[in-house]
Chain A
Amino acid sequence: GNSVTQMEGPVTLSEEAFLTINCTYTATGYPSLFWYVQYPGEGLQLLLKATKADDKGSNKGFEATYRKETTSFHLEKGSVQVSDSAVYFCALSDGRTDSWGKLQFGAGTQVVVTP
């Protein structure tokens, strides 16, 4: 079956540091890939997505590129802020239009940014 593996946290960084969170997946067919972010006490929010190979999703300074050859979708940000402290989830859907909301999530990576 489909699965998502992401690096364990917590990841602790200083403000303005470079952030990378690794995510790899196993899936058949043509999945869509997502990064969701969960701020303390809140629900998950879609951060970015990519629906086909070589697509790059980007939002709020975050980027991730859909790499089919390495089955990866690593999240990056060049200069983090304290407000980026949150838990980040990598997820995939199987790409079928009738089940796109049925997501497979990774375990989440907590990111802590210190001033």
Chain B
Amino acid sequence: NAGVMQNPRHLVRRRGQEARLRCSPMKGHSHVYWYRQLPEEGLKFMVYLQKENIIDESGMPKERFSAEFPKEGPSILRIQQVVRGDSAAYFCASSPPGVANEKLFFGSGTQLSVL
């Protein structure tokens, strides 16, 4: 049973380019969360999605950032026109439907570096 898969593990972009981060949740999990970890800081919530729906995007920057979780395929976090301040580790987590045991399953993260 594969865990939460994120790719790529490392992504290098130049300022102004677009970054696409992918997250495949665990099998049977329909809820996806994205978190960002800036250097020397804890993880910060960005967005919570269910299949084809954004449930809570209160942690997303208002511009340049978007997320989707289509009916088929992985969840995508998209950052347009990246800036140096976007350099961070981006983690995806998934959970099955319902509260279950309040356990999130995290991927290994994507380290985004903006030159």
Task: Check if B33 sits within 8 Å of A102, measured CB to CB.
Answer: yes
> Least Cβ distance of A32 to chain B in Å?
6
Q: A103–B42 Cα gap in the complex (Å)?
A: 11
Task: Check if A103 sits within 8 Å of B40, measured CB to CB.
Answer: no
Tally the A-B contacts, defined by beta carbons under 8 Å.
60
Interface centre among A43, A89, A93 (most CB of B within 10 A): A43
Instruction: Given A43-B4, A43-B109, decide whether A105 and B104 contact each other with a Cβ distance below 8 A.
Output: no
Kindly state the interface size class of chain A when it binds its partner: 20 to 34
Q: A107–B40 Cα gap in the complex (Å)?
A: 7
> Least Cβ distance of A41 to chain B in Å?
7
Stretch from A45-53, A64-72, A76-84 forming part of the interface with B: A45-53
In the bound complex, residues from chain B placing their C-beta under 8 Å from that of A28 are none
Closest 10 CB pairs of A and B: A43-B106, A105-B42, A44-B106, A105-B43, A107-B42, A43-B108, A43-B107, A46-B103, A101-B33, A102-B45
